[in-house]
A = this chain, B = another copy of it.
Amino acid sequence: MQDQAVQPPEQGAEGEQKSKKQLQREKKEAEKAQKKQEHQKAQNAQEQQQQQQQVQEEDNCVGRYGDLNLIQSQERTNRKWIKVGDVDQTLVNQVILVRARIHNSRVKGKLAFLVLRENYNTIQVVAEKGEFASAKMLKFISGIPLESVVDIEALVKQPNKEILSCTQKVELEVRSIKVVSRSLPMLPFQIEDASRRITDFEDGVQEMKQEEPQIKQDKQEKQDKNEKQQIQVMLKTRLDNRVIDLRTPAKQAIFRVQSGIGLLFREFLVENGFIEIHTPKLIGGTSEGGTNVFKLKYFNQDACLAQSPQLYKQMCLMADYDRVFEVAPVFRAENSNTHRHQCEFISMDIEMVIKEHFTELLDLMGDLCIYMFKGIEKRYQKEIEIISQQFPFEPFKIPEPVLKLTFEEGVKMLHEAGVNQDPNDDLDTTNEKTLGKLVREKYGTDFYILHRYPKKARPFYTMPCHDDPNYTLSYDFFMRGEEIVSGAQRVHDPELLIKQIKEKGIAVEPLKDYIDSFRYGAFPHGGCAFGLERVAFLYFNLKNIRNACMFPRDPVRLFP
A residues contacting B by CB (< 8 A) are 5, 7-8, 10, 70-77, 79, 81, 99, 101-102, 117-119, 145, 147-149, 180-184, 187, 242-244, 246-247, 251-252, 255-256, 259, 262-263, 266, 270, 275-285, 294-299, 301, 303, 305, 312, 315-316, 318-322, 327-329, 331, 333, 335, 343-344, 346, 354-360, 463-466, 473, 489, 492-493, 495-496, 498-499, 513-514, 516-524, 532, 549-551, 553, 555-556, 558-560
Q: Are B284 and A255 in contact (CB under 8 A)?
A: no
Assembled-state Cα–Cα distance A358/B73 (Å): 6
Contact of A328 among B73, B145, B294, B329 (CB under 8 A): B329
> Within 8 Å CB of A70, what residues of B?
493, 496
Closest to A497 in B: B8
Query: CB distance A76 to B180 under 8 Å?
Result: no
Give min CB distance, A81 to chain B, whole Å.
5
Give every chain B residue within 8 A of A148 (Cβ-Cβ): 521
Closest to A81 in B: B355
Count of this chain's copies in the oligomeric assembly:
2
State whether B359 touches A73 (Cβ < 8 A): yes
Partner of A282, one of B73, B275, B344, B492: B344
In the complex, chain B residues whose CB is within 8 Å of the CB of A279: 550-551
* A532→B74 contact, CB < 8 A: no
Q: In the complex, which of the residues B75, B149, B246, B295 contacts A321, with contact meaning CB atoms closer than 8 Å?
A: B246
Chain B residue at minimum C-beta to C-beta distance from A241: B516
A559 and B492 within 8 A (CB)? no
Q: How far is the CB of A270 from chain B (nearest CB, A)?
A: 7
C-alpha spacing A255/B317, complex, angstroms: 13
Most buried by B among A75, A322, A519: A519
Closest chain-B Cβ to A180's Cβ sits at a distance in Å of: 7
Residue of B nearest to A259 (CB): B275
Contact of A316 among B246, B276, B277 (CB under 8 A): B246
Known: A277-B550, A312-B550. 10 other contacts (CB 8 A): A101-B521, A183-B520, A242-B315, A243-B513, A246-B316, A255-B277, A281-B329, A284-B559, A294-B297, A298-B558
Q: Given B184, B295, B297, which contacts A520 in the complex, CB threshold below 8 Å?
A: B184
In the bound complex, residues from chain B placing their C-beta under 8 Å from that of A358 are: 73
Q: Is the CB of B303 within 8 A of A276?
A: no
> What's the nearest-Cβ distance from chain B to residue A84, in Å?
11
Q: Are A119 and B320 in contact (CB under 8 A)?
A: yes
A521 contact from B182, B282, B473, Cβ within 8 A: B182
CA distance A524 to B180 in the complex (A): 8
Cβ A318 vs Cβ B75 within 8 A: no
| A357 touches which of B73, B244, B346, B558 (Cβ 8 Å) | B73
Bound CA–CA A442/B10 (angstroms): 46
- The answer on a CB contact under 8 Å between A331 and B282 is yes
A321 lies within 8 A of B282 (CB): no
